[in-house]
Chain A
Amino acid sequence: MTDDHSVDDRVPPRNGLDLSRRDTLKGGAVVAAAALTGAAPGPAAAATDVAPLPSAPRHGLRLQTTVNGTAVSVDIDTRTSLLDLLRERLALTGAKKGCDHGQCGACTVHVDGRRVASCLTLAAKLEGREVLTIEGLSEPGTLHPMQQAFIDHDALQCGYCTPGQIMAAVACVAEGNATSPERIREYMSGNICRCGAYVGIVAAIEDAAATMGRG
């Protein structure tokens, strides 16, 4: 490996995937997309490479972080937001861009267990931290109780803000802020639903909070 974007063999194997096998790649970092997205890893699981940076930015760094339980090592432009890292480099498109300024909540993910706006989070700040996205919320083939409750209460319409709503809602329950409809409304106000599914969202969170034992 001679260039700056060489494969990082230090990535520890996770979920049974031997990432060091990906050394045929010409550049970029490597993770197992199957592991990132929660798909069942198996002998045939496709370990997709992360797109390398196509041109060297003037100011870059190597980021080592954990996404949905899988170690990720990736070269980034220092300007990159966590949201753009997830969507454009790691093929995790569940978190959505709705404003890019922390004003809508569609990009909500968890960092070290707390909900944040990934669009206003510098990816560089993720060094050594753990990111959880909608793709890693539930085990493959299953639904998190919050996801099921969103279906049951039709707590969505177009679905665009929904991953962010659900990540915020899961955190809302975990924080102990899902104890009444009024409190849920207040603590879910950082997630705009332009379709106007708020009534269903509050009902879904009340329902899921009971299931999750935190209501």
Chain B
Amino acid sequence: MIPASFPDRARIDARDKVLGVARFSADVPVTGVLYAMMVPARIAKGTLTGLDTAAALRVPGVVRVLTEADFPAPPPVIENGPPPPPPTLEREIAYRGQPVALVVAETLEAAIEGAAAVVCTYAAAPFAALIDSEGGVREMGEEIVFGDAEATLASAAVVVEGEFLSPTQHHNPIELLATTAVWEAGRLTLHEATQGAGGTRGMTARALGIDPGVVDVKSPYVGGGFGQKGGLGQRQTALIAHASMLLGRPVKLVTPRGQIFHLATYRPLSRHRIRLGATAEGRMVAMQYDAEQEQSRHGIFPSAEYHETTSRMYGIANYLGTSADVRIDRQPPGWMRAPHPQASGFAMESMVDELAYRLGQDPVALRLANTGDVDFRTGQPFSSNHLNACLEEGARRFGWSSRTAEPGSMTADDGSLVGWGVACGSYPSMMVPAVATLRIGADGSTRYAASGHEMGQGIRTAIASVLLESLEIDPERLEILIGDTTAAPQHITAGSWGSAGAVPVAMRAAARMREAVAELLDGREIAGNLHRRLATVRRPFLEIEVSEVGPGQGQDVLQALQYGAPAVAGPAYPTFTTMSYIAHFVEVRVEPTTRRVRVPRVVSIVDCGRVISPRTAESQVRGGVVWAIGAALREATEVDPRYGGYLNNDLADYVVAVNADIGAIDVGFIDQPDPLANSAGLKGLGEVAMVGASPAIANAIFHATGRRLHELPIRIEHLL
């Protein structure tokens, strides 16, 4: 049964976080720890021909320098199997910044000095660093086709078209990548900053050729992930694990941010050519959309997913989508918050805005007239779609009706140009399997263990919300164990499926516990909470285990979960499709002389089904909007094609939003449960929060200035 609305509740781990006692991976105290530092390659491609460690070994405190020769050969590739683990150390250099050696020392200072003292020689090879560089290899991806887009476009009354560009961007969570490995009594414990403790276990074991059964991974708090600490494992993890096993001592690496730019994944630069056709009345009837992105030589970040939302947001019956990877010599790109829809949504929602102006229609009205109940891509219905309600509520709160349509027609008292823009976003709502154990003690304790990683989205709070709503237990002694392979199998937490993977199973656990208590008490009426009742009947504790799978998933996915492999269902489930929706309304002020752009206020209204944790959900939406402001106006990672690598590889030159950049962000929820997606009626939130807010800013800038900008970030030089 889908629950009624949930009460506002403070973030359950906020107290530990404000006291500074929440233990992130690099905070775990380990006795006798050694410090590691990687040596990055300074060429973009080629071969490591020499590695002189003598000077490094002379640095007082340096214990050992690990090189390629210290590591086992990579595991054989399994045909149609899971992706291989990240390589360890290799002589072949595939990208600038690839680690070529690992220095381990008694102190951090010695490790840093030692790493700088390693002398490398290389045979450099020609390389391609950018999407247009010579040597890039273009590969077409899956086509998404339904209806007849070409014919419909040919006969459409109105066709708008344009090409858009989204730049390379890096996640930059404030927590650095960090690994502490402890090899003791035949077990390897990894304290790792990861969104996928289970995957990290599997990847590390495969990379080193050891039994995953002896590896434990703990990641109870993640200091921001946004996809960077997700799926495919970090290259550094196996290096540190191996160092600990070789040296018989704990080893810790906190990776400098400049190195992370070169090692971790990133949002690849992408280009988007769209032709959008409509009837004279403004019914969108056909879309042709060609997407391409930069890609590493062996990367798997899928290009076809640029069509995941553009093909479904509006009821467009005729669609022709192509996608391409351009393979170049960089480290693999990956999933970064609102991965594909951030870029594709910028392109599409800019085009929809242009269509509204071409038709002389209000951009809100045009959108309201084009949403639909059917997923034309599959022919099946959406399980829920409240995008129109989002648009209507957003327009009301924002005061949209007082907008004058003409670009440049609104000004502020100080002479600034005022722009009001709107755009929508959607994102697949997916689900993953989960296993949970719940144990309630007569001593007042409650222990809940399940899959999930807390990285700020509030998953621990959402779980607590369910348990405390359903069970009479002591909130002060509720322990929620997540991100820990010793507590429960851990699925990667990403793609906005965190709540779907955590909340339905928690509800099932609570229900099962209530049944178990009823069985135990067998009709006896006992006063007090569950702990009291257990104590009264002299039962030390009750423990139950439950599991949950997504619509259409079999119990076999629980097996995949045990191995830490991804097992994701949706958004196209067997009989329906489930998407989350959002409408963003943005005001920009463009300063008249120097053309500085500010965003004083945003209204964002979300359809994410039932809201489980209102307070953290609201924060998550605000965070998504902050990300979109950064992506629209500031963030781009810069590659000099002569050298490869990333030039602006720090937080001074990779410009993210600071406090002074952010004004009011008003968040609202439709809070209507989805009837089919899962037992909680919830849909994903973290990604959709960001989708559409960047084009809303671009559309507002058009409204303020009359300039339709096709490239992000929109910087001061584009408006002078």
Whether the complex brings A and B within 8 Å at their CB atoms is answered: yes
Interface size on A, residues (CB 8 A): 63
Residues A160 and B174 in contact, CB atoms below 8 Å apart: yes
Which of A7-15, A17-25, A49-57 contacts the other chain? A49-57
Residues B109 and A197 in contact, CB atoms below 8 Å apart: no
Q: Is A196 an interface residue (CB 8 A)?
A: yes
Contacts known (A154-B10, A159-B223, A194-B224); A54 close to B106, Cβ less than 8 A: yes
Which residues of B sit under 8 angstroms from A198, Cβ to Cβ? 622, 626, 657, 659, 662
Residues A54 and B659 in contact, CB atoms below 8 Å apart: no
Residues B175 and A96 in contact, CB atoms below 8 Å apart: yes
Residues A77 and B107 in contact, CB atoms below 8 Å apart: yes
Which residues of A sit under 8 angstroms from B625, Cβ to Cβ? 196
Q: What per-residue 1/0 map shows which CB atoms of A143-186 lie under 8 Å from chain B?
A: 10001101110101111111100100000000000000000111
Which of B24-32, B381-389, B710-718 contacts the other chain? B24-32
Which residues of A sit under 8 angstroms from B108, Cβ to Cβ? 84, 88
Residue in contact with A99 in the complex, picked from B221, B624, B650, CB distance below 8 Å: B650
Q: Is A124 an interface residue (CB 8 A)?
A: no
Kindly identify, within residues 178 to 208 of chain A, every residue whose CB is under 8 Å from any CB belonging to chain B. 184-186, 188-202
Residues A158 and B455 in contact, CB atoms below 8 Å apart: yes
Q: Is A93 an interface residue (CB 8 A)?
A: yes
Contacts known (A98-B174, A160-B223, A195-B623); A150 close to B18, Cβ less than 8 A: yes
Which of B422-430, B464-472, B612-620, B676-684 contacts the other chain? B612-620
Residues A185 and B660 in contact, CB atoms below 8 Å apart: yes
Q: Is B73 an interface residue (CB 8 A)?
A: no
Contacts known (A57-B61, A186-B660); A158 close to B20, Cβ less than 8 A: no
User: Complex Cα distance A117/B659, Å?
Assistant: 17
Residues A151 and B11 in contact, CB atoms below 8 Å apart: yes
User: Complex Cα distance A25/B498, Å?
Assistant: 47
Kindly identify, within residues 531 to 589 of chain B, every residue whose CB is under 8 Å from any CB belonging to chain A. none
Q: Is B2 an interface residue (CB 8 A)?
A: no
User: Complex Cα distance A153/B15, Å?
Assistant: 12
- The number of chain B residues touching the other chain, given as a range, is 35 or more
Residue in contact with A162 in the complex, picked from B20, B257, B458, CB distance below 8 Å: B20
Which residues of A sit under 8 angstroms from B651, Cβ to Cβ? 98-99, 101, 103-104, 192
Q: Is B222 an interface residue (CB 8 A)?
A: yes
Residues B257 and A54 in contact, CB atoms below 8 Å apart: no
The DSSP consensus for interface residues of chain B is: loop
Residues A91 and B29 in contact, CB atoms below 8 Å apart: yes
Which residues of B sit under 8 angstroms from A88, Cβ to Cβ? 108
Q: What per-residue 1/0 map shows which CB atoms of A55-83 lie under 8 Å from chain B?
A: 11110000000000000000001011000
Contacts known (A154-B11, A194-B656, A196-B626); A160 close to B24, Cβ less than 8 A: yes
Q: How far is the CB of A155 from chain B (nearest CB, A)?
A: 9
Q: How far is the CB of B633 from chain A (nearest CB, A)?
A: 14
Kindly identify, within residues 326 to 346 of chain B, every residue whose CB is under 8 Å from any CB belonging to chain A. none
Residue in contact with B222 in the complex, picked from A96, A158, A186, A190, CB distance below 8 Å: A158
Q: Is B185 an interface residue (CB 8 A)?
A: no
Residues A156 and B14 in contact, CB atoms below 8 Å apart: yes
Q: Is A100 an interface residue (CB 8 A)?
A: yes
Residues B26 and A97 in contact, CB atoms below 8 Å apart: yes
Contacts known (A147-B19, A161-B174, A198-B659); A96 close to B650, Cβ less than 8 A: no
User: Complex Cα distance A194/B456, Å?
Assistant: 10
Residues A196 and B107 in contact, CB atoms below 8 Å apart: no
Which residues of A sit under 8 angstroms from B78, Cβ to Cβ? none
User: Complex Cα distance A214/B226, Å?
Assistant: 36
User: Complex Cα distance A44/B148, Å?
Assistant: 79
Residues A197 and B20 in contact, CB atoms below 8 Å apart: no
Which residues of A sit under 8 angstroms from B257, Cβ to Cβ? 98-101
Q: List 16 A-B contacts (CB under 8 A).
A: A57-B107, A57-B109, A87-B27, A91-B29, A95-B20, A98-B176, A101-B652, A104-B651, A134-B19, A159-B221, A160-B173, A185-B662, A192-B651, A192-B656, A196-B622, A200-B622
**Extra 8 A-B pairs, beta carbons < 8 Å, given A134-B19, A184-B659, A194-B226:** A53-B106, A54-B107, A99-B650, A185-B659, A193-B174, A198-B657, A198-B662, A199-B665
Of all A-B residue pairs in the complex, the 10 with the closest CB atoms, nearest first, are: A94-B20, A196-B626, A160-B223, A158-B456, A159-B17, A157-B456, A196-B623, A134-B20, A93-B27, A54-B106
